[in-house]
Chain A
């Protein structure tokens, strides 16, 4: 149906957002944080029914979802070739005919997310694309290696060319209520990142309660996180809507109080185009349009892209698509 002739390049505007410098630990703020689980669950449950995006709008939203994907491979059997393949997919996430039919070009994913050892391969493979390489770090996924090694890992990764570092917090600090230790740890991670942006992975599935999620979110932001991220993808429960609601409300409060915008990255378990639309609607409604840009919003996902491609092909042709019609990552 779509045969726009005007091909527009849709590189996102390079937004200049001042980095969150963090602030002193404000324990009274942390302790005043509340998260009513049942109310949050109800809101999360009704959200998909409250928002609906159709037709061209939906296609546009799905393209935005692609632009916000941290295309990820975090497996023990990753090889350089595997990572190169992923990078190629990040550069060209959409089949050419689909992109053409949609009248867009230059659609790329938000970043590539790999382990430290794959950084250099990825940086090479992405040369000239402008796509940043994110590295998981600090003893990912458990975060239980010696502290100095976790710091060293960040430094090595930055040196290797990672523009973004996804650190894991020490869940034990949250579970034991040692907020000062959590703050200090995050501060140290942030400092080691230098100019690289730091995403704080809370591993929300291991924090026990939504209240803990809210408090940990706030502390990581106070300690200078550029992004807060739900999960490593390795916990048994990863990104969920209730957890997302809690984290983005924390982001909103932090912005209201300090004026700094912190990004949000749900990771793990988001594999359907429909879910991506719900997340985008959640960001739009709770935080506003500014948070719909990849400098403030990312999906940590690997299989989501394929489903989006299928939906976009359906949008273009009117016929439902099959997975194999789209290139592997």
Chain B
């Protein structure tokens, strides 16, 4: 075609980035991706195949890691860890070198990522690789500052890390950079579809002077991943599907392995009638057609205000038609290839099974061959439609309308997930009102899919737990320096004495601000060391748990009160406890047969004062992110926290989790010390006289072993803590998978828990991105 004809047509034409260097790189390394263990590349076995999803052509072979190979990687990591953890400044230099080298090889990394994954070169070049590099720079700084800024924390040890195929190198960076910065060593498995950039990364590690064994990469599929989960590692960090995350939670339950999960999402994208609709449409391009919609935090549920819905859909369809789909190496392509035919089949199946609403496929030219799915909009779906509930992980946007801000929030939160949310409005009052109400780990105001190393990212509900990025992200790669001791079961005393009190007193449960008889109608006597009966205590069962959770959820207004008010109530409790200090001290001494009661009451008063002090001071932070705007890392209450209290400190063990959770705006259900429950039941009177709103604190008594499984399995409990001396850690973790609630258990160890530990556990970070400018 002549230039003159091109001048008539004004088409874009092809603008391909060359794959030659990347292909040559693969060839020169033997054409197979395999392990990097203890500083050397391992045996290359052609067990599996890595394909280019844009063409279906084979790129390289893939070695599938065996249990033995994983074990040798873990062994190398274990050996290297103590030395690596010694010097933060030295780690900083190495991380800095990695960042510099990645910059140097930026184009190779970008092209390789696109070849392997199918994402447009524009995205790998302008988003994935720059964010990856930034992550290493940022964490080089964290390594430098660790000693000064985190004096009470240390590396966890060896971290097993499993990353997904949607952002192969970026997710690797999110895992490896913080782990290394904090002095951990890692065994990482890239996804089976996308392993190649991890191979380049391994070479960069060699070049950057990463000591042998600090970074180990084991390649393979889900089975290899399972070997990592089962191996002798101290922590598992997983990013991927909720189903696999749940399985990992189950298999690691009770193992003592720390766990962070970054899982799926069905993130709402809310457009109010006063929004800049054109910009909101453009935002959707970055929300759901970014990386072909294969993004855990993709804005995949569009909620539009009824009054502008028709106009908005029209604008959106017009924009969809302009998307260019095709060869991902073309610099002029918006939508690339789906990662694998299996994924394509899954997307196709989900969409074809839906019969509700109206389906619109973008009228853009589809490439022939390769693994492609057209940008798709499905409007008029009801919240009950499967497509509004299930993650599609493809370029499919599901839409419905709302009438009021309240309804928008209700629809947005009507999901088992809670990863991200987007809000478009020009009304700052509305935006800042809605953002805290959305159940999500990240909220973008008038923007979408913004990421930065300084801004914590992660989910709530079934989107997982743990944060990546910021100081919060480092909590997942450190542990308290304090060492625990084995905890043995604290047994209740027995006796037969009828008791000296002529009037029978059976302590009741405390549920919803009222003393309640136990559902089962059973109670148990509590004896002193000498066998004298001190009283009777109710035995709670699963129905009592159900009732307590219900009232606790009902008391969610507590989370919206001010820190000042919560402090006042905690002080008031201290006042009332103080007035009865000697009575409590005597009770404690009588139950425990020791004479530490006075000191424990004093410590409890102190704890109440401490949490009252923190109630209005455990602040979030404004993070410096590289945009014109701010990212607010806000502290939010976790929700309903159920705590199995420590057995040996009948009052203090109750007051600490209660104080922390109350101060941060949570509601709690406290299973009192099992052998010495009467301090807790006495404490009900303190609660009753201290203006504590009904449902904010609930007290159960009974057997921890019996209560724990039901508490952990309750899908409306947001977190379970255990300091119990009974062996309940494993069952709590195993049963938590229903709603993937946060668990914080002692694993049979007694550890000194700091106030900050409690406050961290009682809060969740929500990152609210607020770009600005007029």
Chain A residues at the B interface, C-beta cutoff of 8 Å: 2, 4, 6, 8, 10, 34-43, 46, 49-57, 59-61, 63-64, 102-104, 209-211, 249, 256, 280-281, 284-285, 289, 292
Is the pair A53, B15 in contact by a Cβ cutoff of 8 Å? yes
Is the pair A51, B332 in contact by a Cβ cutoff of 8 Å? yes
Is the pair B274, A34 in contact by a Cβ cutoff of 8 Å? yes
Q: Can you report 23 residue pairs joining A to B where beta carbons are below 8 Å apart? A: A10-B4, A34-B426, A38-B627, A38-B629, A38-B772, A40-B279, A42-B627, A49-B122, A49-B125, A50-B334, A56-B1, A56-B3, A57-B12, A57-B13, A59-B6, A60-B10, A63-B3, A64-B7, A102-B3, A103-B2, A104-B4, A210-B774, A289-B10
Q: Does B282 contact A (CB under 8 A)?
A: yes
Set B277, B322, B331, B446: member contacting A285, Cβ < 8 A = B322
Closest to A284 in B: B10
Is the pair A292, B10 in contact by a Cβ cutoff of 8 Å? yes
What number of residue pairs across chains A and B have CB atoms under 8 A from each other?
114
Set B122, B334, B426, B628: member contacting A41, Cβ < 8 A = B628
Closest to A32 in B: B274
Known: A2-B3, A52-B15, A56-B3. A38 touches B10 (CB 8 A): no
Is the pair A38, B13 in contact by a Cβ cutoff of 8 Å? no
Give Cα A256–Cα B312 distance, bound, in whole angstroms: 13
Nearest CB of B to A261, in Å? 15
Q: Does B447 contact A (CB under 8 A)?
A: yes
- The residues of B that contact A57 with a CB separation of less than 8 Å are 6, 11-13
- The residues of B that contact A34 with a CB separation of less than 8 Å are 274-277, 426
Nearest CB of A to B520, in Å? 58
- The residues of B that contact A36 with a CB separation of less than 8 Å are 275-276, 279, 424, 426, 446
Set A8, A39, A53, A249: member contacting B12, Cβ < 8 A = A53
- The residues of B that contact A284 with a CB separation of less than 8 Å are 10, 12
Give Cα A209–Cα B426 distance, bound, in whole angstroms: 14
Q: Mark B747-774, 1 if CB is under 8 A from A, else 0.
A: 0000000000000000000000001111
Is the pair A38, B628 in contact by a Cβ cutoff of 8 Å? yes
Is the pair A50, B276 in contact by a Cβ cutoff of 8 Å? no
Nearest CB of A to B292, in Å? 15
Name the residue among A56, A57, A249 with the largest chain B CB count within 10 angstroms: A57
Nearest CB of B to A215, in Å? 13
Is the pair B331, A52 in contact by a Cβ cutoff of 8 Å? yes
Nearest CB of A to B329, in Å? 11
Q: Does B68 contact A (CB under 8 A)?
A: no
Is the pair B3, A54 in contact by a Cβ cutoff of 8 Å? no
Interface of A (DSSP majority class)? helix
Set B3, B122, B279: member contacting A59, Cβ < 8 A = B3
Q: Mark B247-284, 1 if CB is under 8 A from A, else 0.
A: 00000000000000000000000000011111110110
Q: Does B126 contact A (CB under 8 A)?
A: yes
- The residues of B that contact A50 with a CB separation of less than 8 Å are 122, 332, 334
Set A38, A61, A103: member contacting B446, Cβ < 8 A = A38
Nearest CB of B to A44, in Å? 10
Set A35, A53, A54, A60: member contacting B7, Cβ < 8 A = A60
Residues of B1-53 contacting chain A, CB below 8 A: 1-15
Give Cα A35–Cα B276 distance, bound, in whole angstroms: 5
Closest to A41 in B: B773
Known: A38-B772, A39-B282, A46-B126. A4 touches B3 (CB 8 A): yes
- The residues of B that contact A60 with a CB separation of less than 8 Å are 3-4, 6-7, 9-10
- The residues of A that contact B280 with a CB separation of less than 8 Å are 39
Give Cα A289–Cα B332 distance, bound, in whole angstroms: 16
Nearest CB of B to A214, in Å? 9
Give Cα A211–Cα B1 distance, bound, in whole angstroms: 43
Give Cα A171–Cα B629 distance, bound, in whole angstroms: 29
Is the pair A37, B774 in contact by a Cβ cutoff of 8 Å? yes
Residues of B508-533 contacting chain A, CB below 8 A: none
Give Cα A35–Cα B275 distance, bound, in whole angstroms: 8
Known: A38-B772, A39-B276, A49-B122. A61 touches B628 (CB 8 A): no
Set B4, B14, B125, B771: member contacting A103, Cβ < 8 A = B4
- The residues of A that contact B774 with a CB separation of less than 8 Å are 37, 209-211
- The residues of A that contact B15 with a CB separation of less than 8 Å are 52-54
Is the pair A55, B629 in contact by a Cβ cutoff of 8 Å? no
Give Cα A38–Cα B15 distance, bound, in whole angstroms: 29
Residues of B312-358 contacting chain A, CB below 8 A: 314, 322, 330-332, 334
- The residues of B that contact A64 with a CB separation of less than 8 Å are 7, 10
Is the pair B126, A8 in contact by a Cβ cutoff of 8 Å? no
Is the pair B6, A51 in contact by a Cβ cutoff of 8 Å? no
Give Cα A249–Cα B122 distance, bound, in whole angstroms: 24
Is the pair B332, A53 in contact by a Cβ cutoff of 8 Å? yes
- The residues of B that contact A41 with a CB separation of less than 8 Å are 628, 773
Interface pairs A-B: 4 shortest CB-CB: A57-B13, A60-B6, A39-B279, A38-B771
Is the pair A56, B629 in contact by a Cβ cutoff of 8 Å? no
Closest to A246 in B: B278
Nearest CB of B to A314, in Å? 14
Give Cα A60–Cα B280 distance, bound, in whole angstroms: 33
- The residues of B that contact A256 with a CB separation of less than 8 Å are 314
Name the residue among B2, B277, B424 with the largest chain A CB count within 10 angstroms: B2
Give Cα A63–Cα B2 distance, bound, in whole angstroms: 13
Is the pair A37, B773 in contact by a Cβ cutoff of 8 Å? yes
- The residues of B that contact A38 with a CB separation of less than 8 Å are 446-447, 627-629, 771-773
9 further A-B pairs in the complex, CB-CB below 8 A; given A51-B332, A103-B4: A37-B773, A40-B276, A41-B628, A50-B332, A52-B15, A56-B1, A56-B13, A64-B10, A102-B3
Nearest CB of A to B425, in Å? 9
- The residues of B that contact A104 with a CB separation of less than 8 Å are 3-4, 7
Is the pair A56, B4 in contact by a Cβ cutoff of 8 Å? no
Residues of B290-314 contacting chain A, CB below 8 A: 314
Residues of B124-143 contacting chain A, CB below 8 A: 125-126
- The residues of A that contact B1 with a CB separation of less than 8 Å are 56
Give Cα A4–Cα B2 distance, bound, in whole angstroms: 7
- The residues of A that contact B9 with a CB separation of less than 8 Å are 60
Known: A8-B4, A60-B6. A39 touches B283 (CB 8 A): yes
Is the pair A54, B447 in contact by a Cβ cutoff of 8 Å? no
Give Cα A53–Cα B125 distance, bound, in whole angstroms: 17
- The residues of B that contact A289 with a CB separation of less than 8 Å are 10
- The residues of B that contact A52 with a CB separation of less than 8 Å are 12, 15, 330-332
Give Cα A280–Cα B711 distance, bound, in whole angstroms: 62
Nearest CB of B to A198, in Å? 26
- The residues of B that contact A103 with a CB separation of less than 8 Å are 2-4
Give Cα A59–Cα B2 distance, bound, in whole angstroms: 11
Nearest CB of A to B209, in Å? 33
Give Cα A218–Cα B555 distance, bound, in whole angstroms: 50
- The residues of A that contact B2 with a CB separation of less than 8 Å are 4, 6, 8, 103
Nearest CB of B to A58, in Å? 8
- The residues of A that contact B3 with a CB separation of less than 8 Å are 2, 4, 56, 59-60, 63, 102-104
Is the pair B6, A56 in contact by a Cβ cutoff of 8 Å? yes
- The residues of B that contact A39 with a CB separation of less than 8 Å are 276, 279-280, 282-283, 446-447, 771
Closest to A61 in B: B10
Set A43, A53, A281, A292: member contacting B282, Cβ < 8 A = A43
Closest to A35 in B: B276
Nearest CB of A to B186, in Å? 32
- The residues of B that contact A40 with a CB separation of less than 8 Å are 276, 279
Nearest CB of A to B639, in Å? 32
- The residues of A that contact B446 with a CB separation of less than 8 Å are 36, 38-39
Give Cα A281–Cα B15 distance, bound, in whole angstroms: 14
Nearest CB of B to A298, in Å? 16
Nearest CB of B to A51, in Å? 5
Give Cα A256–Cα B278 distance, bound, in whole angstroms: 13
- The residues of A that contact B4 with a CB separation of less than 8 Å are 4, 8, 10, 60, 102-104
- The residues of B that contact A249 with a CB separation of less than 8 Å are 278
Known: A34-B274, A63-B3, A103-B2. A54 touches B13 (CB 8 A): yes
- The residues of A that contact B8 with a CB separation of less than 8 Å are 10
Is the pair B126, A49 in contact by a Cβ cutoff of 8 Å? yes
